[in-house]
Amino acid sequence: MRLLFVEDDQRIAEPVTQALTEAGYQVTWVADGELGLSEARAGQYAVMVLDVMLPKRDGFELARALRQEGLSTPIVFLTARAELGDRVAGLDLGGDAYLVKPFELAELLATLRAVIRRGEQANSARYSFAEGQGSIDSRTRQVWWKGQALSMTAREYAMLETLVLTPGRWFSREELLDRVWGPDFYGEARIVDVYISYLRRKFDTEVIQSARGRGYSIL
């Protein structure tokens, strides 16, 4: 499950990212509000965790911009600002939860489960691709092709989901490595090509496109 984490304090970001990854989230961490806005626009996330005091664009401004653009992804604010007015402001801007630093990781994980559960009840988790011939369910991690369920390994599914949730976007090998294997993977980047070939064998048409200098995409 994909999670966008926007936090400029590395001392907080690194252990929280590790804990979220160990809990099963596919975490993208960026360190300022402008990068957060760009990343949120570029890809579909199950949930976003935003610090409030961010450089370039604070978390409240980021949430306001995303809600004005119609993005309904659940937002959890993390901040040292504990005043009632700040908490109310964050929730009024479209936040789904507000945790005050310092917080316990168990509390953050429970909060994420709650807001994701509410979001799942409100939104369909099924996404189609290849002009409706295929679909995925991000909750059950099931894949269908022409009405038939397909068997997928965890990494095959993670790569397919990355492409399906951002149709038309081109991903380089390095981006797919980061999203599917994580930032701590130090193996050969060509492993991405191998997994793309695995996926292509499961479909009877050229669902995944490739282009020199651009990478891979589902159009």
148 and 66 in a common domain: no
133 and 99 in a common domain: no
pLDDT category, 217, cuts 50, 70, 90? very high
141 and 105 in a common domain: no
73 and 24 in a common domain: yes
114 and 146 in a common domain: no
Give 144-202 pLDDT, tens digit per residue: 898 888 999 999 999 999 999 888 889 999 999 988 888 778 778 889 999 999 999 99
CATH of the domain at 148: 1.10.10.10
State the residue range of the domain holding 86: 2-122
139 and 67 in a common domain: no
132 and 117 in a common domain: no
Across-strand partners of 77? 50, 98
Looking at this protein, which amino acid is placed at residue 187?
A: G
pLDDT category, 142, cuts 50, 70, 90? confident
208 and 177 in a common domain: yes
9 and 116 in a common domain: yes
Give 65-106 pLDDT, tens digit per residue: 888 877 778 899 988 776 767 677 777 777 888 888 888 888
3-state SS, the chain, equals CEEEEECCCHHHHHHHHHHHHHCCCEEEEECCHHHHHHHHHHCCCCEEEEECCCCCCCHHHHHHHHHHCCCCCCEEEEECCCCHHHHHHHHHCCCCEEEECCCCHHHHHHHHHHHHHHHHHHCCCEEEECCCCEEEECCCCEEEECCEEECCCHHHHHHHHHHHCCCCCCECHHHHHHHHHCCCCCCCCCHHHHHHHHHHHHCCCCCCEEECCCEEECC
Return the sign of the alpha-carbon dihedral for residues 43, 46, 49, 50: positive
Listed residues 92, 122, 152: the one ending a domain: 122
Listed residues 122, 140, 172: the one ending a domain: 122
65 and 25 in a common domain: yes
- Rounded Cα gap, residues 139 and 85, in angstroms: 35
Give 104-141 pLDDT, tens digit per residue: 888 899 889 888 777 655 555 678 888 888 888 887 78
CATH of the domain at 111: 3.40.50.2300
116 and 138 in a common domain: no
Listed residues 78, 94, 122: the one ending a domain: 122
Domains held by the chain: number: 2
94 and 13 in a common domain: yes
